Amino acid sequence: NAGVTQTPKFQVLKTGQSMTLQCAQDMNHEYMSWYRQDPGMGLRLIHYSVGAGITDQGEVPNGYNVSRSTTEDFPLRLLSAAPSQTSVYFCASSYSNLAPDTQYFGPGTRLTVL
Amino acid sequence: AQTVTQSQPEMSVQEAETVTLSCTYDTSESDYYLFWYKQPPSRQMILVIRQEAYKQQNATENRFSVNFQKAAKSFSLKISDSQLGDAAMYFCAYRISQGGSEKLVFGKGTKLTVNP
């Protein structure tokens, strides 16, 4: 198993550009989520999904869109990038949200918005 | 508000010695799960140890153990026989599941340095 994979590892955008951060897992996990990590802020939940076709907002959803068309993939879209979105983004997954379980994290994507 | 507080931004320990990282949390829930994650310079978040709140027995994983005090809402991590590879950021987190809504709340982290 590859676990949780994220692409790209690094990205530089200009203000107003759009892009999609990719996340995939091959563990047949129902639950997937996106976090951002900022210095001195820990990790904060952006969006999450409890299964294909179901998504919901986390703590800091503004400026981000998600969709979950398959169990494996959970892309995060920035429609119009802003400097405040400069951060490290982590995707995570776990088997189920109903049975509390350990979340496994991807390697992260470092995004810089100029 | 549900929060996690790690009061030690930085800690250091001598190789082979023991160090304890503190964590307190605030929640009104009775059923939740607690975690310690390690983040080395590679940025990968690695699960170190987990604790179910309904269990009184403290979790242990090899050199890592926790001191879980539910009434005090305290969840400290003890690393015994510290090794150079233990140097990393350590994040305390708790997870609750409410009616299909999942929430994982993190502290701001403690940077651990291991001195040879």
Residue-wise pLDDT tens digits, B58-113? 999 999 999 999 999 999 999 999 999 999 999 999 887 665 666 788 999 999 99
Please give the distance of CA A75 from its chain centroid, rounded to a whole number. 7
- Per-residue pLDDT reduced to its tens digit, B9-65: 999 999 999 999 999 999 888 778 899 999 998 888 888 999 988 888 999 999 999
Which residue, among B24, B39, B43, would best test binding to A if mutated, counting the most A CBs under 10 Å from its CB? B43
Whole-number pLDDT of residue B113 = 97
Chain B residues whose beta carbon lies within 8 Å of the beta carbon of residue A103: 47, 95, 104
Mean pLDDT for all residues in chain B:
90
The yes-or-no verdict on residue A16 having pLDDT over 90 is yes
Of A44, A48, A104, which is closest to B102 when you measure between CB atoms?
A48
The yes-or-no verdict on residue B1 having pLDDT over 70 is no
CA distance A114 to A57: 26
Whole-number pLDDT of residue A97 = 58
> What does the CA dihedral B71, B104, A102, A68 come to, rounded to 10 degrees?
160
